[in-house]
Amino acid sequence: MTRSLLIVQRELRAFFGTWSGYIIAALALLIEGLLFNAFALGSQPKFSAEVLSSFFYFSSGITMVAALFLAMRLIAEEKQAGTIVLFFTSPLSERELVYGKFLSAFIFLTVMHIISLYLPVLILINGKISLGHLAAGYLGLSLIGAATLALALFCSTIASGQLIAGILATCLLVTMLIMWILAGVVEEPFKALFSYLALHNDHFNPFSQGLVNTKHIIYYLSVIIFCLESSVRVLKVRRWQG
Amino acid sequence: MITVRGLAKYYGAYQAIEALDFSISRGEIVGLLGLNGAGKSTVLKILGAFLVPSAGYAEVAGCSIADNPQAVRRAIGFLPDSPPLYHEMSVDAYLAYVLRLKVGRLSRAELERQRDEALDRTALTAERHRTLGELSHGFAQRVGIAQAIIHKPPVLILDEPINGLDPVQIVEMRDLILSFRHEHTVILSSHILSEITRTCDRILILDQGQLVAQGAEAELAKSMRGDKKITATTAQDPQAAVATIKKLNGVDAVACQQNARGEYELTLQATADVRSQVAQQLVAYELLALSTAEAGLEALFMQLVSAAPRRTGEQA
């Protein structure tokens, strides 16, 4: 655990010590602000709760893209730079490495979410929303962000470079997003299966409307743990393959 | 300190190393010598618990690599062929990070003491606040050594530590490695014969994944069966005498070529001192000079590595 925290510390320093972290955060927040103004507020009168739901809907997309950019480099960059040797010749387990990397990116993503709080606070000041809705929405954003991070981290583990990791992660993410479209064109039992596997639609929308259901939390946690444990397994297998 | 028995590693169908057997005692500096692709890096990666062997047994500091890789990792300092550096970090921050990664929790005073010691030993104190990305290759290589020794491991594994260094840096690196004698057990790899012989107590020669010879430089030279290189210079072309010389007892090979001065140089590989018989054969061709020298390690190395046809598609 100590070593995982050490990795978290170093990664956060790398995120905040280089331009890449700031660029990802600034772009995400800029686009989020623009979308909030153009679509969430819109030109038609709306209830505050509707504005907030729209905000979480757009934020979820931005969160996924930002998570993808943050996580695709986590392991692939170490492989490219040759620094992965440092971990593999230190008394550090593959699990400590993977969870440390994941945690660092998750903390960075959470910081971005905290900064974005000013937008719903504007709704809170000028309208009427419940804090429960706000909390549920941010819980949803954190879960979908963490799931995307885990997915991209897995791609970063299997890819030899950042670019390939990014392409793989995008393909996997898009596949998991369009599952709900596939669910609309196939018969049961695939309909239910695809619908359940879709990363966004059925699982995220309730959060954006202020509803928290355990089954959606369990879905996201399952995706996160599955991807992280698969990453651990890939790194262990690498010791055999060379 | 290091024991290897029947060690083999496959990359898919490709066999990088096969059935290696050797051991290294505490405090020894041992060199792995071989051409590119001989399997040196694979051996070092296995000893560093970085790779799992496909077959065989390896033990470092009393711990099995297969059964207890974490204990092995605690007992080693590893320098890969390219030092594993984070270019945005300072030398100080990087070494503190590596030390914590190796030993876990430790007090600030202890961290600073061990870091200062590593900086001092690798003559990096003046560079400690510089960013790693700004360092020259020589300094970067020294930081690589510093990260390997910072936690005072009993075993040091250094993959091509002099690779890419200029002549002055090579001398400095050699002195640094020699200073580890008796304090650490060192296994290092190189394809530069002269450096291995200057730095190491013992040499393991690898060729195409096999250990073809091992021993101290003097022992290896002896294994040339007392081979000698005899050189004769004549003013006239001795081609007519070459066939007779080739038939002399103890002569393995003869080569003749004309030098820039128009003289003829005859080079013999022989297992016995046949200078007097050679002189008798060459006197009619105005023999100008005749000398002999023991065949060195270089001749042995060339003999060992050129015996088998080269492999292709090598990974290590």
Q: Measured between beta carbons, which residues in chain B are less than 8 angstroms from residue A88?
A: 48-50
Domain CATH number, residue B270? 3.30.70.100
Q: Which amino acid is at A48?
A: S
Which of A81, A82, A92 is opposite residue B101, by nearest beta carbon? Answer: A92
Q: Is B3 on the interface with A (CB under 8 A)?
A: no
Domain CATH number, residue B27? 3.40.50.300
Is a pLDDT exceeding 90 seen at residue B267? no
A-to-B residue pairs, Cβ atoms closer than 8 angstroms:
70
φ/ψ of residue A24, rounded to 5: -60, -45
Q: Are A208 and A131 in contact (CB under 8 A)?
A: no
At residue B315 the predicted structure's pLDDT band, cuts being 50, 70 and 90, is very low
Interface of B with A in 246-305 (CB under 8 A): none
The token pair at B63 is 């711990």
Q: Is A19 on the interface with B (CB under 8 A)?
A: no
Q: What pLDDT does residue B224 have? A: 54
Contact flag B86-A85 (C-beta cutoff 8 Å): no
Domain count, chain A: 1
Q: Are A223 and A229 in contact (CB under 8 A)?
A: no
Tell me the residue length of chain B.
Answer: 316
Q: Measured between beta carbons, which residues in chain A are less than 8 angstroms from residue B88?
A: 14, 17-18
Higher pLDDT, B174 or A151: A151
Same-domain check for residues B218 and B232: no
At residue B248 the predicted structure's pLDDT band, cuts being 50, 70 and 90, is confident
Q: Is A87 on the interface with B (CB under 8 A)?
A: yes
Q: What pLDDT does residue B227 have? A: 67
CA triple A133-A134-A135, angle to 5 deg: 95
On whether residue B307 sits in a domain, the answer given is no
Q: Measured between beta carbons, which residues in chain A are less than 8 angstroms from residue B74?
A: 91
Domain count, chain B: 2
pLDDT digits (tens, 9 = 90+) for A182-210: 888 888 888 888 888 888 888 999 999 88
Q: Is B51 on the interface with A (CB under 8 A)?
A: yes
Q: Is A240 on the interface with B (CB under 8 A)?
A: yes
At residue B312 the predicted structure's pLDDT band, cuts being 50, 70 and 90, is low
Q: Are A76 and A159 in contact (CB under 8 A)?
A: yes
CA–CA gap between residue B251 and residue B229 (Å, rounded): 10
Is a pLDDT exceeding 70 seen at residue A1? no
Is a pLDDT exceeding 60 seen at residue B307? no
Beta bridge partners of A11: none
Higher pLDDT, A52 or A99: A99
Q: Average pLDDT over chain B, rounded to whole?
A: 86
Domain that holds residue A140: 2-241
Q: Is B293 exposed, middle or buried (0-12, 13-18, 19+ CB in 10 A)?
A: exposed
Same-domain check for residues B163 and B289: no
Which of B48, B51, B98 is opposite residue A242, by nearest beta carbon? Answer: B51
Percent of chain B beyond pLDDT 70? 91
Q: Is B68 on the interface with A (CB under 8 A)?
A: no
Q: Is B60 on the interface with A (CB under 8 A)?
A: no
| Mean pLDDT across B286-315 | 67
CA–CA gap between residue B144 and residue B146 (Å, rounded): 5
Same-domain check for residues B264 and B156: no
ipTM: 0.83
Same-domain check for residues B203 and B257: no
Same-domain check for residues B215 and B238: no
Q: What pLDDT does residue B14 have? A: 86
Q: Average pLDDT over chain A, rounded to whole?
A: 89
Q: What pLDDT does residue B299 have? A: 67
Same-domain check for residues B142 and B185: yes
On whether residue B70 sits in a domain, the answer given is yes
Least confident range of A43-47, B14-18, B47-51, B95-99: A43-47
Percent of chain B beyond pLDDT 90? 33
Q: Are B206 and B39 in contact (CB under 8 A)?
A: yes
Contact flag A88-B50 (C-beta cutoff 8 Å): yes
For A16, name the nearest residue in chain B, comparing CA atoms only.
B88
Same-domain check for residues B114 and B241: no
Is a pLDDT exceeding 70 seen at residue A242? no
Higher pLDDT, B281 or A98: A98
Least confident range of A110-124, B196-210, B288-302: B288-302
Same-domain check for residues B234 and B208: no
Is the four-CA dihedral B136, B141, B147, B149 of positive or negative sign? negative
- Nearest-neighbour CA in chain A from B132: distance (Å): 13
On whether residue B316 sits in a domain, the answer given is no
Q: What pLDDT does residue B314 have? A: 44
Domain that holds residue B257: 228-295
Same-domain check for residues B201 and B280: no
Contact flag A10-B97 (C-beta cutoff 8 Å): yes
At residue A145 the predicted structure's pLDDT band, cuts being 50, 70 and 90, is very high
- Nearest-neighbour CA in chain A from B50: distance (Å): 5
CA–CA gap between residue B298 and residue B283 (Å, rounded): 31
- Nearest-neighbour CA in chain A from B293: distance (Å): 44
Q: Is B177 on the interface with A (CB under 8 A)?
A: no
